[in-house]
Structure 1
Amino acid sequence: MSDLSRRSVLRGFGLAGLLAAASACGVPPAHIDAADRAARDRSAQDKKLNFANWPLYIDVDEKNAQKRPTLDAFTAHSGIKVQYTEEINDNDEFFGKISPALMNHQDIGRDLIVVSDWMAARYVRLGWVQEMDRSRQPNVTKYLDPLLRNPAFDRGRRSAVPWQSGITGIAYNKKALGREIKHVSDLWAPDLKGKVTLLSGMDEAFALLMQGQGVDVAKWTADDFHRMTDQVASLVHSKQIRRFTGNDYTKDLSSGDVLACQAYSGDVVQLQSDNPDIEFVVPQEGAELWAESLMIPNLAEHKSNAEALVDYYYDPEVAAELAAYVNYVCPVPAARDVLASSKDEDTAALAEDPLIFPDDEMRKRLVVARDITPEERPEFENRWNLIVGL
């Protein structure tokens, strides 16, 4: 695995921000009614689908980088050929790429896409993705993690089914620091002055920081947001925070330039393989559980084939194979038993890794945060970007 994160850094408004701002100013949003989202489904006679994903987010054959074992097995089982492209490098960038077509009710040439849930919420609100037929998805119905089933933007996960999940928490070098970190407030201790980094993306950063102030991020308010940003601004002024980062926090932590940082669980699994002194903690106040989700865009011509692929990856055997490769939080808890039964010791050990399968104690402290609404975004984004320097 490389250090490329699937959790993108928010880079200003972009087209997504412009749409949010336009909506807030009373300009009619480019919403598509449910009755106008479907095209004639060609799945039965056209056994294929186009699947757009992030780089390094699927299993790859060790001997042939062009082969993806789970996708190959899906084709062998179903007869459906998958055109798989690794074209999503940033949520906003991809949104800008496909939104003109979606806004104008045109087919984007992709049957399945994967984006972070904070961005998925925009597609759902705009009516740019279709609901899936759960009768075709018994595995999703049975095996989807209960913690991920009902985000505020998509109750029942009809439009956005998690591909992989993760936790935004705290990573630190326990040996170099010489003590444990248990609370978000521990980052503000004097011995960490100038040795702490936070994530620069507002959507990625805000929940953990609010949780450190005792906020229930499933139902946070504007006052909570401003109280959090006031604290962050003060910590920047006092030079407690070294800087704000994208995924390059991994380099800072590995080099020792920082001792503690806001981090993603999936990245830390990789860091720990090189440095066992790196710890990941879900603070006592809690941490954000997030997902990057599969969605079927409007007018996709192979909807049933796409629904079949989504359900295929919710088979615990398949989910286990994918989890063993990508090392993010698996949205299929039943895959844990599959890995645990492996005859390979390293593979079996993954079943006990709480950053892939959070244990019961950790799960009690994980929360899916309420997303930022289009009406809130312009004000909040402006405030955050002034602090971060974007």
Structure 2
Amino acid sequence: MRKPPRPPLSPEARAVLSATGLSRRTLMRGLLAGGAAVAVGGALAACGTKPAKRSASEKAACVGTDVSATEKKINFSNWPLYIDMTDDKKRPSLDGFTTKTHIAVTYTEDINDNNEFFGKVRNQLQGCQSIDRDLMVLTDWMASRVVALGWTQPFDTAKTPNFTKNVLSALRNRPWDKDMNHAAPWQSGLTGLAYNGKVTKEIRTIDELLTRPDLKGKVAVLAEMRDTVGLVLLSMGKDPATVSDADYDAALEKLKRAVASGQIRKFTGNDYKEDLAKGDLAACIAWSGDIIQLAAEEGSQVKFVTPEEGLIVWSDNMMIPAPATHKANAEQLIDYYYDPAVAAQVAASVNYICPVEGAQDEMRKIDPELATNPLIFPDAAMLAKAHDFRALTEEEDKKYAAKFESVRGA
């Protein structure tokens, strides 16, 4: 049945929606567009009263009592379609964990958007109340916010030796988790360029994408602000990890010129995949995981390109909420997924960047072709060109998103 059209969003709601990360996750996972309405509601709730940052003494007082010794279970919230799964819907790596540890895992795919999830749990976390989860997976920018608020428990690194030993060097000692005890990357991804070789020649730079005459009207950029603006900043010689308001505004002006000239056809979520595969789009800003899938199709000439200026890198991170009551069990699960053999098992299914050293050798036993894919196992040269976007405060997030939406014309 055809759904009735939804009423248009207010400018404020559109700005919040852009800041949520919805395009990357909800659309990437192939969820129905109707989920956007839910995401906006959660995001708007998340942008109400500014949550207070906990002091050191408040953090110490707001930690769940660990009952792992007597309750062998974990509640684990993750994104949809983000773990190895068989045709009959079994999750072999989770089953392997339970067999090894006798810890039962309730695995829930209930994180469809960072701000939506934040909106669901913020009142409980702020009030030191249980959210009925022992692990949650959040993208860098939201993860850094939750850590800064004091809403997570630190890992006991003595109990996570695989993580400490095997996490990729590029993901160590991040500015918002310098001691590596609040966030363990689950999977990572890259944002760069893609083109269809059936309809255009190779593209190498963001400037080509935004100005090359033969691409006019055949270009898409992502509706995810951090990805699109991050790459434009790199094309201007600016580092997204240290972006200033002036740099951001200059990048938007450059993007605005490409929109006004007709160079950019549209801003998209991962629905660019179908248009790129058909040749309706010649080139676009793209996510590495999507392009692995397109490139694998028979006869495909779709290719992922590392822009000369650099890439945007992002990670989704396992975190233990402060009120969680199965911390030791959660630490065992984190460490289990940093066993290279287990990590390779997951990577073979989900096709994102594997954050675990040694997993590439294990992947050769599973799928030698995947083991040589630089979008799953990037080499040092590729990682050296990867940049992340600076963690924004809630106020900056809303301000930057509103400016981005004005350029999109959404």
Q: Are the counterparts in 2 of residues 114 and 294 from structure 1 also a CA contact under 8 Å?
A: yes
Task: Spell out the pairing of 1:30-41 with structure 2 (5 A cutoff).
Answer: 31=54, 33-41=58-66
Q: Which deviates more, 207-216 or 165-174?
A: 207-216
Letter in 2 for 1:114: V
1:182 matched to 2:207:
no
Task: Spell out the pairing of 1:1-390 with structure 2 (5 A cutoff).
Answer: 4-5=27-28, 22-23=49-50, 29=52, 31=54, 33-62=58-87, 64-65=88-89, 67-177=90-200, 179-188=201-210, 189-274=212-297, 275-340=299-364, 342=365, 347-390=367-410
TM-score (norm 1): 0.91
Q: 1:318 to 1:4 in 2, by over 3 A?
A: farther
Shift of 1:323: 0.6
Letter in 2 for 1:362: M
Q: 1:176 to 1:3 in 2, by over 3 A?
A: farther
Distance 1:41 1:3 in 2: 33
Q: Are the counterparts in 1 of residues 223 and 269 from structure 2 also a CA contact under 8 Å?
A: yes
TM-score (norm 2): 0.86
Q: Secondary structure at the match of 1:169?
A: strand
- Aligned partner of 2:20 in structure 1 is none
Q: Which deviates more, 356-365 or 322-331?
A: 356-365
Distance 2:313 2:64 in 1: 34
Q: 1:335 to 1:245 in 2, by over 3 A?
A: same
Q: 1:324 to 1:3 in 2, by over 3 A?
A: farther
Q: 1:7 to 1:237 in 2, by over 3 A?
A: farther
Shift of 1:3: 9.6
Q: 1:68 to 1:250 in 2, by over 3 A?
A: same
Letter in 1 for 2:185: P
Q: Are the counterparts in 1 of residues 197 and 303 from structure 2 also a CA contact under 8 Å?
A: yes
Shift of 1:362: 1.4
Distance 2:305 2:284 in 1: 11
Unaligned runs of 5+ in 2: 1-24
- Aligned partner of 2:19 in structure 1 is none
Q: Are the counterparts in 2 of residues 37 and 129 from structure 1 also a CA contact under 8 Å?
A: no
Q: Are the counterparts in 2 of residues 3 and 247 from structure 1 also a CA contact under 8 Å?
A: no
Q: 1:89 to 1:16 in 2, by over 3 A?
A: closer
1:328-381 Cα shifts (integer Å, max 9, x gaps): 0000131011112x1x6xx01111000000123212211233222334223212
1:150-180 Cα shifts (integer Å, max 9, x gaps): 3222223321110000001111112310x21
Distance 2:370 2:68 in 1: 36
Q: 1:36 to 1:171 in 2, by over 3 A?
A: farther
Unaligned runs of 5+ in 1: none
Distance 2:41 2:407 in 1: 19
Q: Secondary structure at the match of 1:83?
A: strand
Distance 1:3 1:111 in 2: 23
Q: What is the count of residue pairs matched by the alignment?
A: 378
Shift of 1:6: 5.7
Distance 2:140 2:379 in 1: 23
Letter in 2 for 1:190: P
Letter in 2 for 1:287: L
Q: Are the counterparts in 2 of residues 20 and 377 from structure 1 also a CA contact under 8 Å?
A: no
Q: Secondary structure at the match of 2:376?
A: coil
Q: Which deviates more, 319-328 or 94-103?
A: 94-103
Shift of 1:7: 11
Letter in 1 for 2:406: L
Letter in 2 for 1:382: A
Distance 1:317 1:50 in 2: 23
Q: Are the counterparts in 2 of residues 48 and 82 from structure 1 also a CA contact under 8 Å?
A: yes
Letter in 1 for 2:150: G
Letter in 2 for 1:354: P
Q: 1:51 to 1:90 in 2, by over 3 A?
A: same
Provide the alpha-carbon RMSD of the alignment: 2.3
Letter in 2 for 1:72: D
Moved over 4 A (4+): 6-23
